[in-house]
Chain A
Amino acid sequence: SAVISQKPSRDICQRGTSLTIQCQVDSQVTMMFWYRQQPGQSLTLIATANQGSEATYESGFVIDKFPISRPNLTFSTLTVSNMSPEDSSIYLCSVELAARRTGELFFGEGSRLTVL
């Protein structure tokens, strides 16, 4: 497997502010994704992080609200902009490892955001 580090692991934020979550992988990666898991709910795909180009967003998610960067193969950031209490969730980075290419996705530990 691989070590997928997410920072911060948790944060409490004020309404209207923005927070950037980082995801760093210690192995070569083919695909990187960002998922959201609201309390007690399933995982919903926000976007595919594309290296060196704009992310591909799923229906219901827009770049202005969730800007994503992926400057290289093993690092990505997700920003949650202009936060409201509805953005309180766990945000998970997920990757497919280049060494496996089986379709299996590995997840980071998640970043738990609480918006007051």
Chain B
Amino acid sequence: GENVEQHPSTLSVQEGDSAVIKCTYSDSASNYFPWYKQELGKRPQLIIDIRSNVGEKKDQRIAVTLNKTAKHFSLHITETQPEDSAVYFCAASNNNAGNMLTFGGGTRLMVKP
């Protein structure tokens, strides 16, 4: 089955700096790569996703890149703000085989004011 590795496990940045979180996956059949943000005590919520036919996607201060050959994808947050502080999870799935997501281990992002 799919295995998703995520790094780093914790990340501390100064407000206004950029943050980058990286993930690798093992199953070359995976074709959908979402990123979820989970604030303390809350449910995970989708912030951005990318499919295997696209190399990069951007939504305001967040962007995701995908390298299918190397089987890795990354989340980039620019101009970080204290409200970006949360745990971020990458995930992968094969939409042609049931849609269940396999999650990375998570990154705890702390943005210091």
A interface list, Cβ under 8 A from B: 30-31, 33, 41-45, 48, 59, 92, 94, 96, 102-110
Q: A108 to B89: give the CA distance in the assembly, Å.
A: 16
Size category, B interface: 20 to 34
B interface list, Cβ under 8 A from A: 1, 32, 34, 42-46, 49, 89, 93, 95, 98-106
Q: Are A103 and B32 in contact (CB under 8 A)?
A: yes
Supply 17 A–B pairs (Cβ within 8 Å), ascending by A: A41-B106, A42-B89, A42-B103, A42-B105, A42-B106, A43-B44, A45-B101, A59-B1, A103-B32, A103-B49, A103-B93, A104-B46, A105-B34, A105-B46, A105-B99, A105-B101, A109-B42
**Which residue of B is nearest A59, CB measured?**
B1
Q: With A42-B103, A43-B103 known to touch, is A107 a contact of B44 (CB < 8 Å)?
A: yes
